[in-house]
Structure 1
Amino acid sequence: MKTNILLYITVISVFSVNIYSQKGRLAAADKKYDNYAYIDAIKTYERVAEKGYSSVDMYQKLGNAYYFNAELDKAARWYGELFSITTELDSEYYYRYAHCLRAIGEDDKAKEMFKKFNDLAGDDKRAELLTDNRNYLEIIKANSGRYDVENAGINSEYSDYGAAIYLNKLVFASARDTGSLAQRKHAWNNQYFTNLYMSDLDETMSLGTVAKFDKNVKSRFHEASAVFTKDGNTMYFTRNNYLKGKKGKSESNTTLIKIYKASLVNEKWDNVIELPFNSDNYSTSHPALSADEKTLYFASDMPGTLGRSDIFKVQVNENGSFGNPENLGNAINTPGRETFPFINDENEIYFASDGHPGLGGLDIFVTKINADGSLRKIQNVGADVNSPHDDFAYLIDTKSRKGFFSSNRDGGQGFDDIYKFLETRKLICEQELYGVISDMATKEVLADAKLTLFDSKFNQISTAVSDVKGSYSFAVECDKTYSVRVQKTDYTAKEEKIKIPAENGKTMLNIALEKAECVVTVGDDLGTCFGIKMIYFDFDKSDIRIEAALDLEKILDVMNQYPTMKLDIRSHTDSRGSSKYNEALSDRRAKSTINWLIKNGVNKNRLVGKGYGENQLVNKCSDGVECTEEEHQYNRRSEFIITAL
């Protein structure tokens, strides 16, 4: 066939008729409030940065904090600091920095960042497709094993292809020799010209005897690819440029193909006319109707085509007239060939293409058409249907999941053959991205948090608000990367990236937000305000590393804000190594941490500390228990326990 037809505030309520009791409770509340420290983490980050400390993580948090709140001038400053120490960043930072630069009037630099963003994203459509689908063979493999395929049982030694359901019959094209003296062969491939044939179709989608379709639509040339309205009274089909005995030719003297329309009159197909958007100088072919029959899809190489042939659509008006054809765009069309569209009643469009990554020749692909007309991710239907040869003309009944497709694969009976199938597992991946928004420190769920869903290029897809249980959900596409941004009053905005699996199901993404002002009291770990899990030392040493100094600057800043605050600094190890050695090493590290703070101005009377080695493990990973590196990491931690405020 390849060469044939083309997305803290503590509230204290005091209700008492006893005024003295009320005053007592208020006093207690005041005392409780005064014993809490409200720490603005962002301000601490800024003060630490102003002292000359820098880190990718800190600059990202500062830039994002202002970017998410539309303070683009401040965001530009910190993103600038970020890019000054590294350019090895995800593409979104180029995108955000560019917008910030444009906001402050640095247009030339903004253009530079946008260009780098686009370079990272890819420009050429085919290069973009291969970039987005570098593991496309693995994806095709994952999409395979979903069909039971067998010969349809109606094939001849010639070309048999295309299928449409008409009432209780299957209508298809065939070049079989019926014994007619008028049967003509095409000089190009020595195959007979195709005509329309039909076969009875029972409830199990099994086929019966083959017969000619209708002599009134038979011509001296090709007829193929028919589609019918539900009432059975209108047919669209493909034919060479031939009508009423007259053959049309292009400027290059070639007889191309066109879409024709016929009406059922007295049980016969009559009133054959060509559609108004046809032309002698380009081809239109392989019509397909939307479920509501208001849109006709077809393949063409008409002006405006992006490749050798594209999928177009045209509106079918109530009075029988047609709108102007529209190219479906580069979401589906490539510089190669896209042809043989089919639309089912679930608004999925199947088509054949040699431009999208496939197994060879024409492969069959599918995507879903959204309510706004946009298309979801294009997916290869898998190796059961697709082969290294041409596979095309896919049709499926969504209720039985049975259908037909055509192929010239090895092992067939003729030049092209029709195969029938049972789809045992749907491909269109319907994933739900869901989770719970919570407070990072208290673990309490957060209602009324605003969530925004972005695609991989940071186009906004959807928004949501967490419910009373902190829950949210988005309908997303499989095998795509999204970013979820969460914003809530009194909390620092946060954005998480998530890759959706290439299979049906649900994907959980719980997001914990940090208070814009951390709430701590006696007994709490001050390090949780800044996500300090441990103070890092070189292996087998207790010298303060640069990364550790950056985190200790945060602790130092808070202690300077709260001069009566006292800390118990605790250092822990995992269970690997001897217990005696781990205890000694952790004790040295705790003392090194204390000495650093004292050296930088903290009174030694405010600090105590000790190393606990492996004596306070937080999980099962004791001696002799096999654990992962990640599990051991939970035990290697530093704590800054508040003992007084």
Structure 2
Amino acid sequence: MKKIYTIVLCLMLSGNVLMVQGQNTLLRYADKKADESNYYEAAKEYEKAFDRKPSYRAAKGAARAYAYLRNYERTHEFWKKAIGFDQAGREDWQHYIAAANQAGETTEVMRALDSLRATGSGMISNLYIDSLLHWYGQQDRTVLNSLDEVNSSSTEFGWTKDSRGNVYFSSDRGEVFDRNKPAVRIDKSYRYYDKKSDWTGRDFLGVYKMDQDGEITSFNVPVPEVFHLADPYFLKDQAVVFYTATRKIKRPKNYEVQPEIFFSRLDEAGNAVDFKPLPINNALEYGVKTPFVDEANRRLYFASDMPGGFGGYDLYVMEYDRDFNFGQPVNMGSSINTAGNERDPYVHDGRFYFSSDGHIGLGGLDLFVADIKEDKIGHPKNMGVPYNSPQDDFGISISDEGILLASNRPESLGLDDIFKAENIGLRFQALVVDCDGEPIKGDVDFMLQESEKQTNVSVKKEDEANFHAELRPDMDYQVLVKKQGYFTVKDDGLTTKQMVGDRITKTYQLVKIPYNTSVYVDLVYYDLDQAVIRGDAGQILDKVAELLKSFSFLDITVRSHTDSRASHAYNETLSEKRADAVRDYLGQFGIARSRVKSEWFGERQLINDCGDGVPCSESLHQLNRRSELLLLAFPDEGKAYEWPGELEGTDLCEISNILITREMPMVHFDFDKSDLNLAAMKTLEKAILMLNHMPIEGLSIEGHTDIRGSEDYNIRLSERRALVVKEYLEGRGIASDRLVYDYFGKSKPIYDCKESPCSPEMHHINRRTALTLPELNKDWRSAMQKK
């Protein structure tokens, strides 16, 4: 029995030895194929070795080989196996995270990055949890659909058009070749390897043309012995095409040939008839590829890994003249270029696009965009989902057909496919609020139109003040928001052109129309028994006419009166004539009669006690012979006014901001007097008219004297002057709580007469009671002050 156990044990040990020896043989063979860059064979042998006996070496080798072949699912599978072994280090974890990301295993990526607590370097240097959470959290209604008329089971990328409307793209759709053909490795570098063992079973890259009938043919260039041909860019203003080519260069030993940029002139049939290399080409030292020509500014953008860059491929720009004499290449700097790879430059409508695996992104090559302002390129932004994915996304093109790009995301038919961005509905949301920022209540008319054809767009109301609609891409829109009694809001700035994301959110504020608000008042006076406009009245009406011509939203109400002398019937007719005289005077300035509303009261609204039979001075009678001029904003009650251009930038939520003037008149006194003369009473009547008809809440009254006399005497005199004004206003019905008064004697003269003698007129100006109001928040009178 013991002998049997011994035999079994020996057989088991010998079996294990044979298994290890067999695996080592497979691993050595796989290593050899990987060294030869034959990753197709290497991947199969590493996987066989792992199946025979799982090991860190076999898992890591298979993961690397599948990564070169861009088989993301298998790459992720074997990196996940590799990190399960004790030998796995931090770099292996970084490769695993990158592979999980490209395989679409987002949950694994987040968990691994969080546990790693840092992005590290190399494979995951451009992955950050916060950025990934942000991009994956965006709900974009744009989807990428395969361009089926172009895509195949091969690689397709680089969609572009010539001036005839033909489409061109790069592809390796040639026949699968055998080991005896010159060997290549297809990757984003387009390198040509003169090694027979570097075999992937794929043909070289070529350029293909699809005409307007959908027929696809090869596009050839006269550069001799080209292996790879890609990245065509056809000029619009000249019959010239730029492209990337990798050509055969004879050398005695194994070597690598890098891509170069050439350009050719085109004949009338669109065929390339000659070629010239870019003067900086150096195929055995560095690569130059992905040309884009900014014809308007005569600039050639391209990617290169020439010495002196930031690492990998960088983006450069070169100036050229009409004869294609090129200047020196200029690196586009650290805001664009990184230690990774940048390529596929593209300029459209004031924006600079490119792809990069060095900027923070979603993995692999991502698409980025930066604004161009005053010939300077701003900081690039990741275009986010769905334009970018964990795989490679590159080669953007924008035209009438929309946004097209290349990607090898999982839904690709081949290694790379061309996708078109299709919008399944851009969402527009609008909130309508009042002056307090609260949702507006009641019926609101919300109208949305496409600007070009004035086509109405369906708008739905979610609740009392929220509206939403579905918009189409690359369109301009107009918004009109109406509510009875509020200013109509018009928005011509709504657009989905070059919009990133799927949602536009706006807030519209509706402001109540201050119907029939007096914004300016004045008084004109008449001689006894007359309706003729006097000289002093003419000066006032000239100003009123100018205001009416300047502000279309103003009308005027003229309220005319007489004194008590003569009969009631006579005075009624006389006051009507006075109102008509004002209307006729304003008509000389082109003010339409429809804008002048007349009212007449005869002697029914006397401002003092000078009624029938009451003896009064001529000055008191004069105060009753008057027309009150009330300039009213938005006089048509119920009309849906649009916001006047003259009030642009004015906050009408504060109604006092609409006033043309809040400057109160000044009351002046005779020397050593505190009683009111006729001029003073006229001044106060204008102030009373303002307080009664304009949105003015309170009034400050400040008494002053000239500098003559003692301090004590002038203090008492200024107090009497303030009080007499206050009492006059109160006597005319102005509530006491709207009035405050103070007095300053001679301490605040307008003219300081101590330094030099003052004229009688200057002393008269100092003898005053000043009426003042709070400051305006917004003064739109500047338009008038400039006239």
TM-score (norm 1): 0.42
Identify which of structures 1 and 2 has the higher relative contact order when contacts are C-alpha pairs closer than 8 Å and 6+ apart. Answer: 1
**Higher strand proportion (structure 1 or 2):** 1
Normalised by the length of structure 2, the TM-score is: 0.35
